[in-house]
Amino acid sequence: MRIGLLGATGGSGEALLSLACEAGHDVRVVARRPDAVQVPKGASVRVASGDATDPAALGSGLDGCEVVVNLVGVSGLLAARRGTTVYSRSVAALVAAAPRAGFSRVVLVTSGGVVDQPDDGWFYTHVLKRHFLEPTYRDMRLAERSLQDSDLGWTIVRPGYLTGDKQRTDYRVSIDAPLAKDGSLSRWSLAHAILQRALSDEALGHTLAVAT
């Protein structure tokens, strides 16, 4: 499969690129810093310079892809509190670029926090989410709606709190519903879930909650 990838220089993107290459996929990457993309030796990877919110850059850099995985975003409480538009703007750019590039499906990674979870505690709900995370969650929700309202095939992945790259395959996946006790998830596990579950035909048109 020819997979387009945005966000390849982040921890989750690096894990996905590595696993996709191990599985023999052909990967097209668009990155603002192409020299920072860690391409495995001998892998079938093409890296193009460009911004994830630029339709022209995505149209040329992702040409011939069957599906694009969007892993762009912000990390950290302070960055989340400041808010961002990168999720919604990157989805808008992908929708605009799709006719030129030829891809018909996008896998968008947001967060389990965009919806209420069964076991959200008082501190998370009234302090962390309300005062730190909500500005970024608002843009994630906008990105999700924009993708769902487009003509593209879509899958939305909502992981738990992302941690290091521990290689665990015993994560849980829920389709179109939040997970009880939505805990942490390693970036390696997220990448594994994307390749094994989110890219499947069964995940088309669905939201996947993923956590350990």
pLDDT digits (tens, 9 = 90+) for 45-59: 999 999 999 999 999
How confident is residue 5, by pLDDT bands cut at 50, 70 and 90? very high
> What is the C-alpha to C-alpha distance for residues 202 and 70, in angstroms, rounded to an integer?
19
Range of the domain at 199: 2-211
Does this model's pTM top 0.75? My answer is: yes
Percentage of residues in the chain having pLDDT higher than 90: 76
pLDDT at 115: 84
Q: What is the mean pLDDT of residues 169-183?
A: 91
Tell me: pLDDT of 117 over 90.
Answer: no
pLDDT value at residue 74: 81
State the pLDDT confidence band at 127, using cuts at 50, 70 and 90: low
- One-letter identity of residue 29: V
Task: Count the domains in the chain.
Answer: 1
**pLDDT over 70 for what percent of the chain?**
92
Q: Which residue has the higher pLDDT, 57 or 112?
A: 57
- Checking if the pLDDT of 69 tops 90, the result is yes
CATH number for 123: 3.40.50.720
Tokens of 74: 């912000």
Which two three-digit tokens encode residue 211? 């956590």
pLDDT band at residue 173 using 50, 70 and 90 as cut-offs: very high
